[in-house]
A and B are shown apart, each in its own frame.
Chain A
Amino acid sequence: MKNDSERGLIALLGNPNCGKTTLFNAITGAHQHVGNYPGITVEKKEGFYRLNGSELRLVDLPGTYSLTAYSLEELVARDFLVQERPEAVINIVDASNLERNLYLTIQILELGAPVVIALNMMDAAANRGMEINAGELSRRLGLPVVPTVARTGRGKHELLEATGQLMEKNPKWTPLQISYGPDVDPVLNDLEEEIRATSFLTDLFPPRWTALKYLEADVQVIEKGREANPSLSDKMEVIAAHVSEHLEKTLDTYPEAIVADHRYGFISALLKDGVLKRGYDADRLFLSDQIDRVLTNRFLGPILMMLILYVVYQFTFNYSTVPVNWIAAGFAALGNFTESVLPPGPLKSLIISGVIDGLGGVIGFVPLILFMFFAIAFLEDTGYLARVAYMLDRVFRTFGLHGSSVMAFIISGGIAGGCAVPGVMATRTLRSSRERLATLLTAPFMNCGAKLPVFAMLIAAFFPAKQALMMFLLTLLSWTAALLLAKAIRSTILRGPSTPFLLELPPYRLPTFKGLLIHTWERTWQYIRKAGTIILAISILFWALMAFPALPSGEKNLFDQKRQAVLSELPEDLRAAAVGLKMEAGEASLPAPVAAARDTLRALERDEALAALKHSFAGRIGLSLEYVTRWCGFDWRTNVALVSGFAAKELIVSTLGTAYSMGRTKRGEDVPLGGQLASDPLWNPLRAFALIVFIMLYAPCFATVTCIVKESGAWKWGLFSMTFNTAVAFALAAAIYQGGRWIGIGS
């Protein structure tokens, strides 16, 4: 492998929905690598291509409409151009949407980068009756323009040849100069001269560009300027403020408005007289618009949306059941096999309960994530996801969220039975940062599939007459909690105006299967690689919490003695049967004394498990938490179960079983726990309901927390969701329990 610096570096840049990623996939195929830019969550994609014997390194920059400093994506793209100085920039331009796409092109040219334009979606442009003279456009701009159709790969080789030829000439960075009119140009000239004379930031930016950014009040450039030369920066800021004031007084406008006007003016001139010919009226309704008349119709739109979201949900969770079950069965078999070959002891317990169960936990999510990303990639690539955001924005904006938040909520369990891990990852489709963060912090309040068994058990035991109604109520409750808490978060720690909506509805397109697969796989792989290791580590930690310290040998001997006593009462030839058949089905045929002994042995084993749990760190944590949790009506047994639920919510039921001496004596054994709780005098419907509410809202499982950290790019948000959610859950559960007791129910 050659060093990165020895390869020709090429950046791909273009608007969202211009087919940039499709082209990138067409060029690099499987030779790509996805990562993140350091410290932020913007994806960084690299790929390689061999052209005439030399290796090219292609970087797919995030899709942007502009190169300002307002969003992470734009900053990433701009910083890359400025700092990495690619040898060439392939600017992908949607030919069917030429004017707006060229707006970005102008800004790249103003930076001075050597550009090759890929005039993409030529087929779509032709369908819309647009005729583009690529040769003339190339002549006017003075750079290569290659027509392409990324979906079919048409023009790919010509594009790369043109790029190769450009790189061979080793072009200098020559910034494009356009006129911004009589009010701005003179000031720009003056500033440019001064910048040149003092070499102000010239190692980074072209002088005229820096001047322009000062007029546009670009935060990042001005900050860099203040560091480099504070006095000059101040002076330029004052001049910029003057111009701004003058323009506002005389023309009632702003420098940035003038700049944008002139850029679009420049583009109009560029396309006039034979470059762009339209066969139809520009406002003609095309197939895509006709589809929208149905899919975003006032009445039909919402109904069809519900239907489509429901299908996505069914697809994700039903079709993934089969592979999920295979994986579960595989890990169970592996566990049983290990159980049979390893000698008893802590190592065996670590390997089975820590490593194998932990790995199973990581891999068990993979089919879910795979299906979810496939479904979302489909909705995203067809263009429907933008319509969902458009239709639902009014509702979600009320709570400080964004129309696109709905996907994350639904996947997380908005329709009961989802999973917050893929749900949190689904927030990637949101581009506005505050709304995205608020969404990924509140999506875990939804009723995921792992909370359902606990709810089902408690509801069946305490509200047997109203099971369906209760489940429905819980779904409503989780939506209400998530939306209200989102509002609370957005009006406190994530306070601030909503990010501008301004969402493009791209024409409906049929995605390519290859594109969907690449998209799905790279995201799934990221999950396995990153979340996997942490989740495995945590499940080992939780195994240790529950297994250590082990029962003191004195107590353990006591149990062993009792066991021996039971066995010694049996005739010698039947002892093996009592032990060996301990777990087998079809025990009815056993002689009565053997059956009785077997039952006693089982009870002993359960008692030992209970004693061990109470003695373990987890048990001690549960006990010490009683001081606080008694406000919600939880005793140490419930607490231990809740603590284990932090490792995975599925564990709540099985730990409760152990804590109630129901004995999880063998892996996966069914426990009639509900009946036991219902007959326990300490338990009543009020307590059960407080527990349900607590489980619904408290700290997300560690897999989810890991994803929150990965997606938000900061540990603090993972910690926040653990503490904040638990505090909310505690407050609400305590209010319910204490309030209920006060009005006299369930005391």
Chain B
Amino acid sequence: MRTILLRQMAAGQRGTIAKVNAVGELGRRIRDMGLVPGASLLVQGRAPLQDPVAVRIRDFTLTLRNNEADHIHVEVDETT
């Protein structure tokens, strides 16, 4: 299993969150939205300027900026 940053994931790629290393307000918001280790996600797409990124997680769609996605490490699902 490869672990990469959420920013590096391609549209359509799936994975499982391995680690979130943000603290403070950003960390809190990321976790409030259910981005915690063990949660599986699918990269749904990116905005026209490649930033932010849209992620399908826990039955909803969340968008976050690339510099926010940098705090999220994902074990990518190699079959996708």
CB-defined contacts of B14 to chain A, threshold 8 Å? 283
State whether A257 touches B34 (Cβ < 8 A).
no
Interface centre among A256, A293, A391, A502 (most CB of B within 10 A): A502
**Contact residue among A257, A289, A501 (Cβ-Cβ distance under 8 Å from B63):** A501
CB distance from A13 to the nearest CB of B (A): 15
Range of interface residues on chain B? 35 or more
**Contact residue among A98, A252, A256 (Cβ-Cβ distance under 8 Å from B27):** A256
State whether A301 touches B48 (Cβ < 8 A).
yes
A302 to B50, CA, bound (A): 13
State whether B33 touches A504 (Cβ < 8 A).
yes
CB distance from A436 to the nearest CB of B (A): 16
State whether A70 touches B48 (Cβ < 8 A).
no
CB-defined contacts of A260 to chain B, threshold 8 Å? 31-32, 36
CB-defined contacts of B59 to chain A, threshold 8 Å? 96-100, 128, 130, 282
State whether B44 touches A100 (Cβ < 8 A).
no
**Contact residue among A254, A264, A395, A506 (Cβ-Cβ distance under 8 Å from B34):** A264
CB-defined contacts of A500 to chain B, threshold 8 Å? 25-26, 29-30, 64, 68
State whether B64 touches A100 (Cβ < 8 A).
no
State whether B34 touches A504 (Cβ < 8 A).
no
Flag whether A548 is at the interface (Cβ < 8 A): no
- Using CB atoms, name the residue of chain B closest to A393: B52
CB distance from B69 to the nearest CB of A (A): 10
Range of interface residues on chain A? 35 or more
Mask for A295-317, Cβ within 8 A of B = 1, else 0?
A: 01111011000000000000000
A68 to B29, CA, bound (A): 9
CB-defined contacts of A66 to chain B, threshold 8 Å? 28, 32
**Contact residue among A257, A293, A296 (Cβ-Cβ distance under 8 Å from B31):** A257
Mask for A378-400, Cβ within 8 A of B = 1, else 0?
A: 00000000000011011101000
Mask for B10-52, Cβ within 8 A of A = 1, else 0?
A: 0000100001110101111111111011111010110111111
CB-defined contacts of B20 to chain A, threshold 8 Å? 257
Mask for A591-617, Cβ within 8 A of B = 1, else 0?
A: 000000000000000000000000000
CB-defined contacts of B9 to chain A, threshold 8 Å? none
- Using CB atoms, name the residue of chain A closest to B34: A100
Mask for A660-696, Cβ within 8 A of B = 1, else 0?
A: 0000000000000000000000000000000000000
- Using CB atoms, name the residue of chain A closest to B33: A502
Interface residues of A in 261-278 (CB under 8 A from B): 261, 264
Flag whether B61 is at the interface (Cβ < 8 A): yes
State whether A289 touches B29 (Cβ < 8 A).
no
CB-defined contacts of B64 to chain A, threshold 8 Å? 500-503
Instruction: Give the secondary structure class of B's interface.
Output: mixed
Interface residues of A in 490-504 (CB under 8 A from B): 499-504
How many pairs, one residue from A and one from B, have CB atoms within 8 Å of each other in the complex?
124
Flag whether A505 is at the interface (Cβ < 8 A): yes
Flag whether A65 is at the interface (Cβ < 8 A): yes
CB-defined contacts of B40 to chain A, threshold 8 Å? 282
State whether B47 touches A394 (Cβ < 8 A).
yes
Flag whether A527 is at the interface (Cβ < 8 A): no
Mask for A77-121, Cβ within 8 A of B = 1, else 0?
A: 000000000000000000011111001000000000000000000
Flag whether B54 is at the interface (Cβ < 8 A): yes
- Using CB atoms, name the residue of chain B closest to A386: B63
State whether A504 touches B28 (Cβ < 8 A).
no
A395 to B65, CA, bound (A): 12
State whether B62 touches A68 (Cβ < 8 A).
no
**Contact residue among A264, A391, A506 (Cβ-Cβ distance under 8 Å from B36):** A264
CB-defined contacts of A99 to chain B, threshold 8 Å? 34, 58-59
* Contacts A68-B28, A395-B49; A100 near B60 (Cβ below 8 A): yes
State whether A501 touches B65 (Cβ < 8 A).
yes
**Contact residue among B23, B25, B48 (Cβ-Cβ distance under 8 Å from A391):** B48
State whether A296 touches B47 (Cβ < 8 A).
yes
State whether A68 touches B48 (Cβ < 8 A).
no
State whether A257 touches B32 (Cβ < 8 A).
no
* Contacts A99-B34, A99-B59, A289-B44; A254 near B27 (Cβ below 8 A): yes
State whether B28 touches A501 (Cβ < 8 A).
no
- Using CB atoms, name the residue of chain B closest to A244: B23
A502 to B58, CA, bound (A): 15
State whether A302 touches B48 (Cβ < 8 A).
yes
CB-defined contacts of B23 to chain A, threshold 8 Å? 254, 256
- Could you pull out 25 A-B pairs where Cβ atoms are within 8 angstroms? A66-B32, A68-B28, A70-B25, A70-B29, A97-B59, A98-B59, A100-B58, A128-B59, A256-B28, A261-B38, A292-B44, A292-B45, A296-B45, A296-B48, A302-B48, A390-B52, A390-B54, A390-B63, A391-B49, A394-B49, A394-B50, A500-B26, A502-B33, A502-B64, A503-B62
Supplied contacts A70-B25, A500-B29, 6 more A-B pairs, CB within 8 Å: A97-B59, A98-B59, A257-B36, A393-B51, A500-B68, A506-B61
Show the binding face of B for A, using Cβ within 8 Å.
Answer: 14, 19-21, 23, 25-34, 36-40, 42, 44-45, 47-52, 54, 56, 58-65, 68
Q: Which 6 A-B pairs have the closest CB atoms?
A: A260-B31, A394-B49, A66-B32, A505-B61, A500-B29, A99-B58
